[in-house]
Chains A and B, each alone.
Chain A
Amino acid sequence: AQRVTQPEKLLSVFKGAPVELKCNYSYSGSPELFWYVQYSRQRLQLLLRHISRESIKGFTADLNKGETSFHLKKPFAQEEDSAMYYCALSDSGYSTLTFGKGTMLLVSP
Chain B
Amino acid sequence: NAGVTQTPKFRVLKTGQSMTLLCAQDMNHEYMYWYRQDPGMGLRLIHYSVGEGTTAKGEVPDGYNVSRLKKQNFLLGLESAAPSQTSVYFCASSVGYGYTFGSGTRLTVV
Contact = CB atoms under 8 A, between A and B. Distances in A.
Interface of A: 6, 9, 32, 34, 36, 42-46, 49, 86, 90, 94-102
Contact of A43 (B41, B48, B50, B101): B101
B48 A96 contact: yes
Interface in B89-103: 90, 92, 94, 96-99, 101-103
Interface residues of B, number: 24
Interface of B: 31, 33, 35, 40-45, 48, 50, 58-59, 90, 92, 94, 96-99, 101-104
B99 to A, nearest CB: 6
A96 B42 contact: no
B90 A44 contact: yes
Nearest to A103: B42
B39 to A, nearest CB: 9
B101 A44 contact: yes
Contact of B42 (A43, A45, A90, A101): A101
Given A44-B90, A96-B33, A32 B97 contact: yes
B31 A43 contact: no
A79 to B, nearest CB: 23
